[in-house]
Structure 1
Amino acid sequence: MLQNELKTYAKREFLSQLSIEPYYQPIVDLVESDVFAYEALSRFRLENVPVKPIKVFKMAENIGFLPELDLMCRKLAIESFSGMKGYLFINVFPDYLVSEYIGKGHTLSYLSNAGLSPSRVVLELNEAVRVQDMSLLQKAIKYYRELGFGIAIDDIGTGFNSINQLLELEGLLDYVKIPRELVDGVSKSKIKYNLIKVLSEVCTNIGAKPIYEGLEKEEDLMTIYHDFSVQLVQGFYFSEPLTASKARDFTPNVKLAKICNGNCLNGRRLNSLRFQPTEKFHIFMESVENSVDRYVILQVGEDRYMVDLWRLKSQVDTKKRNLYHYKDLIEVIEKEKDLFLSFQSLPILRPEKADTKNLFDLIINSKYQLFLLEESDHIKVVERNNLLDYFYRTLAKELADVNPLTYLPGNRLIEEKIKELGSKEEFWVCYMDLDNFKAFNDAYGFYAGDQMIKRVGFLLEDLRRLNTDRVFVGHIGGDDFVILLWDMSLETAKEKLLGLIREIQEKLLEFYSPEDRERGYYLARGRDDELKEFPVASVSAVLLKGSKDPLDVSKRSAQLKKKAKSYRGSVLLVEFLNEILTINL
């Protein structure tokens, strides 16, 4: 009893001495040269003396006031966001997100009072607290995403936001924040560079957009922008956290070279070295020994080469250095062609003269890591890993919110299109997913799973191209897709979807082994960890009448999908007719 009274007194005293002011740090979109979002932060004073947030939160935790303090900060951040552009990122502790999912709903109440839609809010999972119940957190995230919220995970790889947690939340994240510890100094560190490269690729594979935090130096900005085709960044280079009034007037100063002629890679100017063919190899190696650059242009006589210095230094060991020490540079280049890439041998891509899909296939299947990209009157050298994103920027810039794996419109564009079509008298919505996709991933591996998702994306895009004015296709995430159809009868919509599902089934058979194709099923472990039979190339789809309310459409489709999933093999369930159509291979 006394202990409770002391805690109550401590809370009252703490609250009477505490003042909170919300601050907002911009998240900048480098592609659009504008603010993409603001992350809400809190600044504290105790008895009018500034105190670090981490100390205030620790004090609140010690007196049992942490949940209340978290809600106070969130409420102020939402109330003061009025008049700002872009999205609002709000830090939340995972356990508090779960508690609201179970029944408190404070955030929804604050947003309603502020007149702010959940679709403009991203809930950012804080790394400071361990997740107690991952399955419950997954359910909470699904619930909030259905309401329109975006979900981000903060500072991946630090605190309790481990790589394993990233895997547990696959398909549930819209954004992943790459921490300051990796971003700061990436231009000078091979380890940081490679770690960011891996994390960026992981984000692409799970359908989440990376946000690079802690950006303070121009050389780091140029490295991540040109080498990783970065879109979203955050850090003191653009702005420190701002008061609400200053945030409303903030415009980022984005100065990035859009076109770079001459000695460039991914649009960034490279250092150029010139040697005579008969100069000795050791002289060249001594000239680059202390260089922190990754790539250089090497001109030997009349020929030009692209050299990856990081790779060169790691592969030319002491034994090779001694062997090549007094040899002519041109002789070493002839022997180590994989390390000295001749410009004449690089494949040339011409986007204006080729279909995007064919270019993607060419890049994916090519043995080359570098390509020459011809655009109008100039040629760029571009890394293989950057090309898919490059084509997105140049050929599909209108899709500002796309799924990074399939390059189909993502959740927000789907929602906007449904609202737009809501003014029509009639339109149709089809939700489609691949049956037992997790089992396929487990049996055949994530790479095969990614390729399967990409193939479905291409097939959906083909349907859209053939019906440009009447069909919209989108990728919700994971193996879930949406198709919107209008200006056509229900029978026509059914016919198009049945044809699409048949084509998907036929194309996806290529991903299974001959034995599995022959018997019509494959063996994999189910969610109960028991070995089971799963049918090959099976799709579940539901077709329902559209509504201008995306949440209503989502809820109705979720109920129908459960029914469709109860059938073995491919199914199209038509809500309007209460009709179930099975599609056989």
Structure 2
Amino acid sequence: MTVTEQLSRLDHILAHGGINTLFQPIVSLSERRVLGYEALSRGPSNSSLHSPVTLFAAARHGGRLNDLEMVCRRSACRQFSHSALQGKLFLNITPESLLDPSHKPGRTLELVSDAGLDPADVVIELTEQTPTEDFALLDNALHHYRAMGFSIALDDLGAGYSSLRLWSELRPDYVKIDRYFIDGIHQDAIKREFVDSILKIARASRAEVIAEGIELPQELQVLTEMGVDLVQGYLIGRPQERPPADLSGFFTRSEQAQTLADEGGDLGALLLVQPAVNADRPIGEVLETFRLQASLNSIAVLDAEERPVGIIHRHLLSEALLKPYATDLLARKPISRLMSEDYLAVEISHSLQQVSRLLTSRARQRIEEDFIVTENGRYRGLGRVIDVLKLITEMKIQQARHANPLTLLPGNVPIRQCLARVLEQGRQAAVCYVDIDHFKPFNELNGSICENNEQLGELIATIVTTIEENFELTPKCAGPERLDQRTHSDNR
């Protein structure tokens, strides 16, 4: 589509609507509650302006940025109020739109009031896409918002052109750390130092820090240990038109996140609570569900007992309806006509390793397709293939990082973690410590002990069995392997 066509399409959107608003939750870990929701705007799903990047770039190019942002704010306020969402509404606003001469003061307050919202529950979130020139004028504009009762947030700290100066000049109530510094923070010391510095500055300036872009339990665990309380990201909740009001399941999973990562436990941490449809649901209604929820990749199809019988993937549905007159001919037909019966359904109690093996054994499994998660055969939600693979990879890296370099068996760090969990839980446990004398010359003479792990494992198992029989204990460990099967060598 040419620039002229994009601008024409933009004019149509601004005149007749077509903006879709999604909401992503921001939660407080310490208070176990939803602080609020960030409103994210999307263009029409069947348009080249669906992507927010393309949509706002076109508006900026055509000098309609202020007009587009007002339409987005109106849509966000109305939908937030209509959905009766709890907490604060975070509205994205660019500094350049606030400084636009055509910007009318008081218009945002009018939109908020018309939607029945209290300005005290609305946060103006500054998203910097271009350099900010006039800090004094921007400061005056934000003082105007504060005087009306709004709070101020600074988005993407560390990614903007002058975000640190904006923080110093504007003194926002909330600071959101750019997801670049969150991605893989559990394995990047420099990113941890950056976040730690931000936390220190935030305490001094009395700003609250929000970590956004969290996708892995390990990232959440590290941030929690560092003292970050407000979090946002796919791990907590994806942007949705109608986000779930109850996130108690996430808070329960977040408390178990480290244990799950260590154990390779059940799939609770990866579960996506998504709507499902009955097999007789009309295709037209399912198509409309996909249209309204741009982030939805798949929908499970269930029978009368809520057991999965198929799955609908967005790309397959789109392909089926590309044929001439297909939409008109199939709109009232049951979705069972187009659903795929070649799907993977796994129990939520399955381990990540089990699911990973099932996924990799499926020749036709595509990485962008979801799989179905069940509990006792009944539908619970969906899981993403990419999430499983990423978590498995992180677990392998974590295990390798703390492995003994000679034996490749778990080293001191996981052993200490395992012992700490056993002590915290107050469980009975038997610990077997094996110290191999003269290990270094033995290893040099006979090759790596990794080649003899089977014999070594059999020896330890025999010792453990003897301990269990004599002391009538059933030692178990919350780590990736049983504590009583671990060995440690100091190379003496």
TM-score normalised by L of structure 2:
0.49
TM-score normalised by L of structure 1:
0.41
